[in-house]
Chains A and B, each alone.
Chain A
């Protein structure tokens, strides 16, 4: 066999990805419907999107959007929580309601033979929620239990503290689930008011993908065409104020075998002209397995199961976060190495190989992102939430490939400036705090 194994095989002929073009419809009440048919499997995903995210309330109401999302399917159209559960479970639906910072999304995944009852259930939850006092009280109690329980998890503690370090009293300064102090104060009236002002056909979109029947439009119109809501209040998120010197914080978790390290700064909003450069930069720094952070801390040093970075692109500037859980004795050294990698991004150009690797991973992966109906529905939701143009994904690769090495370094210099970055460690104070204090003044904080 004359096979040369010493080099990677050449790729075959590319089969172009056909990015599906959705059907669109707008009802008289203002509600939009966007759908794509994919009938090779008997299932479908339905997502109802409203701009009712956690970014639309002040920090004193942190957790409100998320609690509304939890309560919605727990009582609607005269059915109490138990009856709703029997209804949704009996159909075998996966019924998820989630409030992120940017929006609230009610997502139903169903066998296509159950599509009509799934639409019935979705419209009941969206149009006729009852907010029964007893269910609201129980749900709030469950949410408070969960928030208290998550204090046991170092990853969750780190996320909560870092958000506040970076964003203070901006809505991004709290996790979407809120904190005990804010959720305790949320009453039924707050939930109803939020629902009335944010859930309106004028700002809602129903996204669907999968094995949809020929009369899908009619099925939707029959259930949502008559939805009457008040003039919706869909505020744009507050712009993010630059935090200067967010500092170095530490949370004690006695006995921890590892330290959770976070280094973060405010990044960019979705749609910022620098978004392509930021995506490339993040891939090089910590977005890929072969990124600088992972190759250094995991593959060279063996200090961690994985080190990475992530860029949260929201309606306003979300955080750019570097993260690793490292074994306790190397905590200080690991923070130094992570800061060294950040400095290296700022002070020198990335290599040609790194540019190829990051651009390839971003542009060549599109076929994998449009494979399943759940994924396609997710992409359509993204388009709705961020107002992306119809050619956003067909022109995506061109934008990524247009990013130069110099743009990457310039972007890193601007956004990863040490004066903008917060450092946070959650770990065993007795074992690591003294060493960390050699890096600068450390503020010890309690678990929120």
Chain B
């Protein structure tokens, strides 16, 4: 196939309201739908010691109503209008988003503006207590009561030095969730939820000038607030020289490895994603071929990078086949990775990785909801919404030499963190998650 690659380009405008709220307007009239995405530049990395999980708990509270919006009304109104909505919290950011039929744009703007401007009058101890219970159940359901569910947070604890803002998981620890108070809620809101610390993206069936007027109408009178200071992040992750073993209610071992990698802001971020893809981004990848097809010691293997703001991470996760020990699987992983030095990634491997990355990106950008999120992410973490348009080309432009260089630089034993999740001895129960030292 010699068909030239079509570039993608979404036209957009960036404006700023008088109160400092940045507004990105991206018209696309191919469907009568519009996405509203509000991203605040605050995440679990901004939590105070002893208050892990607070940014996420706070996100839950923002769905409990505001001065003009009753408890549970946010969900009801959007769903009744045929829309979808949610919020999410991560290390660097918290986002709130709705996709609605385009004639309901005002509804989404009104709801988001009310909780940015008029949240505090409605918050109560009862709402805090209720959502604290819900979040603790989220932790049980998604982490503690799920096989391998505590592996990722165990990696973070050992990869980062005490005090590092990426050292704890966004869901937080149970005992910290218990400590959250109403005063914490008010402080957090005042510090982080001002218009100057947020980006509003409106993407879909809009006229940009009209949408801007509407945004100003709903958000314009919210007073500006001083910009918060983000924590300074130590440059080095640390890493753990020894293998950490974690027992779990599982029948086969799984190996987690995390390597320091380029952050989302660095110029070789896309190349790092291709390194992950060459390693385990499909059934033809190095690790899959070697460990699943050939040696048959792994059931599956995955590799991915996290688009973090300060320090990147590259993850390799492999599940053992029955009867294979974590140590044997680890040796297989290490041998295959070491072979990259003598048999570096080929042009064919790099080209497949580029194609996969561009196809994945298009699937993400196809819906207005996914695209609004990508614009918000690029604006908040890179200060560069145009990144959405150039990223497609950047993945396509990574040379095989870049992949080779980066692979040899990143995949060093020194600096990585390794956790082996192993089956618990029969007869012993789970009980509390592993001791956390902070």
Contact = CB atoms under 8 A, between A and B. Distances in A.
Interface of A: 1, 3, 5-17, 38, 40-43, 81-82, 85-86, 88-94, 109-114, 116-117, 138, 141-142, 145-146, 148-149, 151-154, 253-258, 288-290, 295, 298-305, 325-327, 356-357, 360-361, 363-368, 370-374
Interface of B: 1, 3-6, 8, 28, 30-33, 67-68, 71-72, 75-77, 79-84, 99-107, 110, 114, 118, 129-138, 140-142, 144-147, 205, 217-218, 220-221, 249-252, 281-285, 288-289, 292-293, 296, 299, 319, 321-322, 348, 351-352, 354-360, 362-363, 365-368, 429-431
Nearest to A146: B299
16 contacts: A9-B107, A11-B106, A111-B359, A112-B3, A142-B292, A149-B319, A255-B431, A258-B145, A288-B75, A290-B72, A299-B71, A305-B138, A364-B83, A368-B33, A368-B100, A371-B33
Given A89-B284, A255-B431, A325 B106 contact: no
B4 A327 contact: no
B287 to A, nearest CB: 12
Nearest to B283: A85
B386 to A, nearest CB: 18
A28 B30 CA distance: 35
A373 B141 CA distance: 33
Contacts of A364: 80-83, 101
Contact of A8 (B5, B77, B292): B77
Closest 4 CB pairs of A and B: A92-B355, A364-B82, A302-B133, A255-B429
Given A114-B1, A299-B130, A371 B368 contact: yes
Nearest to B321: A145
B103 A113 contact: no
Given A89-B282, A114-B1, A152-B250, A368 B84 contact: yes
B355 A111 contact: yes
Given A109-B363, A145-B299, A9 B110 contact: yes
A256 B146 CA distance: 9
Contacts of B3: 112-113
Of B30, B118, B205, B351, the most chain A CB neighbours within 10 A belong to: B30
A5 B220 CA distance: 13
A11 B82 contact: no
Nearest to A371: B31
A364 B104 CA distance: 10
Contacts of A301: 133
A16 B292 CA distance: 50
B134 A368 contact: no
A152 B409 CA distance: 37
Contacts of B100: 368
A114 B359 CA distance: 10
A305 B134 contact: yes
Given A113-B4, A152-B147, A367-B101, 16 more contacts: A5-B114, A11-B103, A11-B107, A13-B103, A89-B281, A89-B283, A91-B352, A113-B3, A141-B296, A152-B249, A152-B251, A300-B130, A302-B131, A325-B145, A361-B82, A372-B367
Nearest to A17: B32
A12 B106 contact: yes
A361 B284 CA distance: 43
Given A114-B1, A257-B140, A303-B133, A367 B107 contact: no
Nearest to B370: A372
A152 B254 CA distance: 13
B93 to A, nearest CB: 22
Of B30, B101, B221, B430, the most chain A CB neighbours within 10 A belong to: B101
A338 to B, nearest CB: 15
Given A13-B103, A364-B82, A325 B141 contact: yes
A8 B110 contact: yes
A360 B80 contact: yes
Contacts of B133: 301-303
B363 A365 contact: no
B68 A5 contact: yes
Nearest to B2: A113
Nearest to A40: B30
A181 B3 CA distance: 49
A364 B99 CA distance: 12
Contacts of A370: 31
B140 A90 contact: no
B428 to A, nearest CB: 8
A254 B340 CA distance: 44
B134 A15 contact: no
Given A112-B6, A372-B366, A1 B221 contact: yes
Contacts of A253: 249
Contacts of A148: 251, 322
Contact of A38 (B30, B82, B430): B30
Nearest to A373: B366
A116 B362 contact: no
Contact of A86 (B106, B144, B284): B284
B82 A43 contact: no
A13 B106 CA distance: 12
B101 A325 contact: no
A373 B15 CA distance: 31
Contacts of A16: 32
A302 B8 CA distance: 45
Contact of B358 (A17, A111, A300): A111
Of B99, B129, B134, B360, the most chain A CB neighbours within 10 A belong to: B134
